[in-house]
Structure 1
Amino acid sequence: MERVPELLEEETLDPADWASLKELGHRMLDDMFDYYQSSRQRPAWKKPSKYALNSMEHPLPQFPQEATEVYEHFFTQILPYNTENGHPRFWSWVQGGGTPLGMLADMLAAGMNANVSIGDHMPMYVEKQVIEWSKEMMGFPKTASGLLVSGASLANITALVVARNHFNKSIRKKGLQAVPAQMIVYGSAETHNCVVKGVEVIGIGSDNFRKVPVDDQYRIRVDLLRQMIREDREAGHLPFCIVGNAGTVNTGAIDPLEELAAIAQQENLWFHIDGAFGAVPKILPEFDDRLKGLELADSLSFDFHKWLYVNYEVACVLIRDAAIHREAFATAVTYLVQHERGLSGGPDPFSNYGMELSRGFKALKVWMSLKEHGIRRYQYMIRKNLRQAQYLAGLVQEEHNLELLAEVPLNIVCFRFNPGGLDDSALNIINKEILMRLQEQGIAAPSYTLLNGKYAIRAAITNHRSRLEDFDILIAQTMRIGKELIA
């Protein structure tokens, strides 16, 4: 029978011409280094062109294309329309800008193509090392456990699952019907939406997440928290978890963590802290008092790709009691039994500590980044961002046409253009337009929020490339656009 070339058993997906691929690979590296190096020369954001969008409407490819053609499509129609969170004037949401070595680490990790879930291979030990460093950074005991995940959303869900299962050992087999009363979670009204989604995902239901009002500094009202717990117990419900915020997404407010830890202990509740970005200043000695209580949490989530500037995506969840953590996820199946020796030996599988059995080598970029810069350099960069936030707040307060809408406890500055004589409804429209024009004109990319019904231009400063001059530009251009709008 005649053999068709594309059906040969010896065929692989490796290139027939390795030399050409090497040449293309070197070009890719050069292009991406140039991309990082020229970040300040590009607009802070650029809307994808119609041509680029149309290029994503092609049918499923049926036949091979040259790798150079595929790369040209990327280089001309994808790369120029990136989020640009590596730009010095990108301050949207809370996104770090990544680093060149982090990019290379991801390339190396993809080349190794390791599944970091089970087995006796070095990527498992690299992740264990990163978790040990994470515990040291956050003041957790060496006996604690941890896991690297995609982001704080999954980190928070993981912690909530551990908390939920700890309070009723039957849940894993029988589900929530094994619980004799409605389980209740508490957090401030400023708690990130991913926590509420997590409460929904684990079957508790968002109606059973108690949003505790906040004070004028956007911190949880401890007196009202106590009252809610008491009322829920009297109603026959089962309070089981308090979520504290180490840096709220709106303003960077830090809840009174030590008080929350004491309440959790008194009430026999799990104490989880969402520290997505605001836990990171724990590495600064001057933040010991403001983040006091962080080390008392039963669980903590934080992102490396936010205020530690690591390339997307990687976050960490730490659990104080490793046995409770393992008990929430471990399963005994024949095809995952750990052996005494061989490839199936090695450390306790990470699949015993989370949902994922297929896990990429995201630990490598954290490991390489921490070694490249050292904790002292990270301390410097975080202090720099903190100073920049105060500088920006000062610029706002110096302008009589600008209004600071919240205190600046960390790295988030919320302000608006307010020339006077306009109500909040009109100001909301104007400031939304200012924000969109700042972005569309490629000047800067802050984001937005609503504070007490007031539309705020929100700068979340987790950018290691920002300089003071960038904030001068933001204020000058905000004033220019604002004046144009009311002219």
Structure 2
Amino acid sequence: MTSPELNRLFDTEQFRASGHALIDALAEQLALELQGNASLIQWQSPLDAEQAWEQEMPEHPVLEPHQLSAWLQQEILPRQLAMHHPHSMAHQAAPPLPLAALADLVASFSNQAMAVYETGPVATLIERQLIRWLSSMIGWTHGTGVLTSGGSQANLTALLAARQTIDPHIWDKGITTVRGPLRILTSALSHYSISRAAGMMGLGTEAVIAVEADAKGRMSIEALRQAHQACIKRDEHVMAVVATAGCTATGSIDPLQAIGEYCRTQGLWLHIDAAHGASALLSTHHGSKLEGIALADSVTWDAHKLLYMPATLSAVLFRDKASSYRAFAQDASYLFHQEDDREIQDFNISARTLECTKRMMGLQLLVAFKLYGRQGLARLIEHVFLLAEQFASLVSQTAGFELLMPPETNIICFRYLGKQALAQGALNRLQANIRQSLLHQGLFHLSQVSIDENTWLRCTLMNPYTQAVHQAELLQHIQQIGDELLSS
């Protein structure tokens, strides 16, 4: 019989009461954030914040279960970046759907460590169903794949599979089995995870060759041809071409059809990093922007971006089933039993992913599809794309501002020029200082990006509650802060 002390750790009634109080507190916080009545961020420098936060590890309880909700409201929620606030515009992390977050609680509670089917049976079935749905939206009849903790892991997994197509002995004997260096061709605006993956795989970051992008931020197909031919002349093996559908910097989508056709004719593995843009496939209005995505050998798709899931929830998808097994070729007798038939092995997801212990991450997305359907999620995507178009129009029409390019998704890059001509360095510093001032005052959360040595302010309009009045307010604050900085 367990002791009273142990029973306290798993007390059902405490769980019930604390859960009800916590949901009430979060619902109140959600309402405040959506209305813009909560603090966006209470800025402190990291060092000051850590000094104020640092605590001794409690040897004994310092908090009673009935105090948990109040403690979270007083100590945790005020220190967060308010993701549901309409002034939160910096990054591609979504303000998660509230009911999806509830499903995430169920996933945490059930704790299905889905290394193999028997350790997470329903989690495995959910994941396989979601992979089939996502693959079908790409246009694949027999596509497969796995869910991953983030797009960086998905990109790495896809590139590991691509590497094995060069020489199946690489897994055991290393890249020294290949005569000549391996190369990855990708856009100059591709995500840093591509270069990071090359470093992790032992190829070296210099194995990633940046292909020129055009004025709209899209990979130049002619530059791709030239880069490929140059590799051939140098006796270098192009392991993969990585196209981007919704690049992080500008939201631009590479010409997937042309890139795909070129890769097919040249026998090159095509990976499409569609972490941000793939969700547009749900929309009948915007899905055509990804025409040609079905030509890919592998695709990365982040649900914690435009499918509005809690982070992190991504997928790496493969057109060919056999390709999904190439990334990892390890034996683990305590998990993968040789006597299991192939049918059972297909359900053992850890054979195809970096993670062994993998949480039930698909439940929240399944719940979203069940509650809102493809059309409901598509309307959300279409709404924020429209917000981006409206904001880009406002920027273009407002004196003193410059738009980098019309948005193709929901990411807008722009800058404040001021009332006088500035040298490039001074103009770049102005953007960085404006962004910092907005953040430190808790007014708006923007990001910034450097393209061709020019610094641009960057908005990612993820929140459907960010309306025209907030967009106008942002430009007013930028102009006011910018003029004050220039005058000082």
Could you state the TM-score of these two structures normalised by the residue count of structure 2? 0.92
Per mean C-alpha deviation after superposition, the further-off stretch among 379-388 and 277-286 is: 277-286
Report the alpha carbon displacement of residue 424 of structure 1 after superposing the two structures with TM. 2.1
Deviations 1:116-143 (CA, angstroms, capped at 9, x unpaired): 22124211111111111211222222x2
Indicate which of 66, 72, 76 corresponds to 2:63: 66
Indicate which of 36, 42, 63 corresponds to 2:38: 42
Distance 1:482 1:98 in 2: 32
Report the alpha carbon displacement of residue 113 of structure 1 after superposing the two structures with TM. 1.0
Report the alpha carbon displacement of residue 345 of structure 1 after superposing the two structures with TM. 6.1
RMSD: 2.4
Distance 1:314 1:35 in 2: 24
Deviations 1:343-373 (CA, angstroms, capped at 9, x unpaired): x968520011112110001111111112111
Aligned to 1:207: 206
Distance 2:345 2:326 in 1: 20
- Given the alignment of the two structures, is residue 304 of structure 1 paired with residue 300 of structure 2, yes or no? no
Identity level (%): 27
Q: Which amino acid aligns with 2:84?
A: G
Q: Which amino acid aligns with 1:127?
A: E
Q: Which amino acid aligns with 1:147?
A: V
Deviations 1:281-337 (CA, angstroms, capped at 9, x unpaired): 122233344211111100000110111111111011101111121143254433224
Distance 1:340 1:109 in 2: 31
Structure 1 residues without counterparts, runs of 5 or longer: none
Give the total of aligned pairs: 478
Per mean C-alpha deviation after superposition, the further-off stretch among 61-70 and 201-210 is: 61-70
Q: Which amino acid aligns with 1:100?
A: P
Tell whether the 8 Å contact from 1:396 to 1:404 is kept in structure 2 after alignment. yes
Aligned to 1:278: 277
Structure 2 residues without counterparts, runs of 5 or longer: none
SS in 2 for 1:91: coil
Q: Which amino acid aligns with 2:282?
A: I
Distance 1:386 1:450 in 2: 23
Q: Which amino acid aligns with 1:111?
A: F
Distance 1:289 1:29 in 2: 40
Q: Which amino acid aligns with 1:422?
A: L
Distance 1:16 1:184 in 2: 53
Tell whether the 8 Å contact from 2:389 to 2:406 is kept in structure 1 after alignment. no
Q: After the TM superposition, list the runs of 4 or more consecutive aligned residues in structure 1 that deviate by more than 4 angstroms.
A: 8-11, 48-52, 69-73, 338-341, 344-347
Distance 2:287 2:108 in 1: 38
Q: Which amino acid aligns with 2:97?
A: T
Aligned to 1:240: 239
Per mean C-alpha deviation after superposition, the further-off stretch among 392-401 and 19-28 is: 19-28
| TM alignment of 1:239-388, pairs within 5 A | 239-338=238-337, 348-388=347-387
SS in 1 for 2:310: coil
Aligned to 2:79: 81
Aligned to 2:90: 92
Indicate which of 112, 115, 125 corresponds to 2:113: 115
Tell whether the 8 Å contact from 1:15 to 1:21 is kept in structure 2 after alignment. no
Q: Which amino acid aligns with 1:41?
A: N
- Given the alignment of the two structures, is residue 397 of structure 1 paired with residue 396 of structure 2, yes or no? yes
Aligned to 2:143: 144
Q: 1:67 to 1:131 in 2, by over 3 A?
A: farther
Aligned to 2:25: 31
SS in 2 for 1:436: helix
Aligned to 2:429: 429
- Given the alignment of the two structures, is residue 53 of structure 1 paired with residue 50 of structure 2, yes or no? yes
Q: Which amino acid aligns with 2:20?
A: H
Q: 1:67 to 1:167 in 2, by over 3 A?
A: farther
| TM alignment of 1:403-418, pairs within 5 A | 403-418=402-417
SS in 2 for 1:334: coil
Per mean C-alpha deviation after superposition, the further-off stretch among 460-469 and 237-246 is: 460-469
- Given the alignment of the two structures, is residue 455 of structure 1 paired with residue 455 of structure 2, yes or no? yes
- Given the alignment of the two structures, is residue 156 of structure 1 paired with residue 155 of structure 2, yes or no? yes
Aligned to 2:164: 165
Tell whether the 8 Å contact from 1:52 to 1:77 is kept in structure 2 after alignment. no
Q: 1:337 to 1:115 in 2, by over 3 A?
A: same
Per mean C-alpha deviation after superposition, the further-off stretch among 242-251 and 66-75 is: 66-75
Q: Which amino acid aligns with 2:59?
A: Q
Q: Which amino acid aligns with 1:46?
A: Q
Tell whether the 8 Å contact from 2:158 to 2:327 is kept in structure 1 after alignment. no
Tell whether the 8 Å contact from 1:183 to 1:204 is kept in structure 2 after alignment. yes
Q: Which amino acid aligns with 2:208?
A: F
